[in-house]
Amino acid sequence: MGTKPETSSIASVSAVLDSRDGDRNTEFEPRLFPTSTSTPARGESRDRDEAPSVRAASDTESGIFSGESEVCVDHELELDWFCLSEQKLICSHCAIVGSCRGHAVTQLTTRVAAVRNQLVDMCEKIQLQALRIERFVNQTLAAKEQALQTDASRVREQMLAQVSRVREALEEEEQRLLEEVQREEERVEECLLTQKSHWSQALSNLAQTRLRLVHTLTHTPDIQLATAGQEITERVEEAEGVGDPCDSVKLNLNTACSDSQLLRGLWASAVLLGPAAYGPADLKFDERTVSPLLRLSEDGCTVTFLSKKPPQSPAYDPARFDVWPNVLGSVAMPSGTHSWVMDVAQSGAYKVGVCYQSMERKGPGNGPRLGYNNHSWVLSHYDGDFSFCHAGKHQALRVVRSPRKVGVLLDWPSHTLLFYEPDSGVVLHSLIHPFNAPLVAACAVADRSATILH
């Protein structure tokens, strides 16, 4: 509900006063000057005397004056105007020649009507707001409360079903792996028993052959000994035929019998979902190892490929790769579990993995080339293809979409190296290898840049 403008000028105040002078029957009679000494009509006097008291009682009850006087203390005139500039009640003289001259003023009745309209609007708005709140509490929240029980029950059932399925799969996998380990153990035990039996018999045969040869040596007359060459040769061939024992991998337990893609994936997820997935904050690229074909960022976490070698080569350093665009991490990993994440979204040609600190650094051969020697294990992306590279062998990998990030997980206790996509948790490749020396993070970039994320 809108309100009409309240402001009035001095001219309008004067006009109002003039109209009141011309019409003595108006509700408000301004007293710009002292009242006339003429005796008014009896009824008229009673009306004028009663009107202010009635009006004062009405306005006081409505809270307009809040118990204040109705007469201006400066001009002793009725406070029938309102100054909008100073927000106070004034008389007509205050508006024309007094302290509120030139201010925005309005008649008291207009001001009261505007305030009443404002209060009505506010009450209506509060009532509508209360209705909306009541409707929200009685309908929306009540419906949410009912839906909460249903949704919570459904979510619990889904969660329990998933956990139950995982538990069943783990129990089945556990049983399968235990049986695999048991079979492998029985196989090795059988091999060991066979070997023991074979070499025990060989020892017995050798002992008998030796006794016969000793008996021939000590008890055969010289004439017969001279003609016993054939018999001696047969005994010697018999002893030599036993052969020498040699170790064999068949006599060792094949630890791959416990390899499980399901178990490895769950284990990797448990490690990689933790706070240490992005590696230690001090893991950066080692400035000493940066190839001249790479530029290292100031924070030491990003390397950018340079299509041409800079005019001025960096100072010689035995740790620096001088031909291949390689760089190594600054932290050695001789034990424990380690993981880190590389941002490779900008690069179309890169290698990410690990290598021994003893890897060669100089020359164009395969020695310092990641993935082409026995000292490095990397995941390679080149020309749209993904592969795992080690010792010059490339194992093609099936990757559904090119990852923007590549994570590496190295676990010394299980000798496991795992490459994964952090955004989806998909394992790109994993292997078990008996690493025997401290490893460092390794990276090669032949297109744009790669970054260690923290």
Q: What percent of the chain has pLDDT over 90?
A: 55
Q: Mind listing the pLDDT tens digit for each residue in 415-435?
A: 899 999 888 878 899 998 999
| Domain locations along the chain | 10-103, 145-243, 259-309+319-453
pLDDT of residue 9: 54
Average the pLDDT over 82-102 and give the result: 91
Instruction: Print the SS3 string covering 395-409.
Output: EEECCCCCCCEEEEE
pLDDT at 302 over 70: yes
Residue at 82: amino acid letter? F
Of the listed ranges 104-118, 230-244, 393-407, the least confidently predicted one is: 230-244
Looking at domain 259-309+319-453, its CATH architecture is Sandwich (2.60)
How far are the Cα atoms of 67, 135, 151, 159 from residue 145, in angstroms, in the given order? 51, 14, 10, 21
Beta pairing, strands 337-343 & 349-356: unpaired
pLDDT at 85 over 70: yes
pLDDT of residue 325: 96
**Residue 327 half-sphere exposure toward CB, CA atoms < 13 A:** 29
Average pLDDT of the chain is 83
State both tokens at 42: 């009896």
pLDDT at 39 over 50: no
Average the pLDDT over 245-261 and give the result: 86
pLDDT of residue 376: 97
pLDDT at 83 over 70: yes
- β-bridge partners, 82: 89, 106
Residues 6+ apart with CB under 8 A from 311: none
CB 428 within 8 A of CB 403: yes
- Between 447 and 234, name the one with better pLDDT: 447
pTM for the model:
0.57
State both tokens at 291: 């190839």
Q: How many residues does the chain have?
A: 454
CB 431 within 8 A of CB 411: no
Instruction: Print the SS3 string covering the chain.
Output: CCCCCCCECHHHHHHHHHHHHHCCCCCCCCCCCCCCCCCCCHHHHHHHHHHHHHHHHHHHHHCCCCCCCCECCCCCCECCEEECCCCEEECHHHHHCCCCCCCCEEEHHHHHHHHHHHHHHHHHHHHHHHHHHHHHHHHHHHHHHHHHHHHHHHHHHHHHHHHHHHHHHHHHHHHHHHHHHHHHHHHHHHHHHHHHHHHHHHHHHHHHHHHHHHHHHHHCCHHHHHCCHHHHHHHHHHHHCCCCCCCCHHHCCCHHHHCCHHHHHHHHHHHHCCHHHHCCCCCCECHHHCCCCEEECCCCCEEEECCCCCCCCCCCCCCCCCCCCEEEECCCECCCEEEEEEECCCCCEEEEEEEECCCCCCCCCCCCCCCCCCCEEEEEEECCEEEEEECCEEEEECCCCCCCEEEEEEECCCCEEEEEECCCCEEEEEEECCCCCCEEEEEEECCCEEEEEC
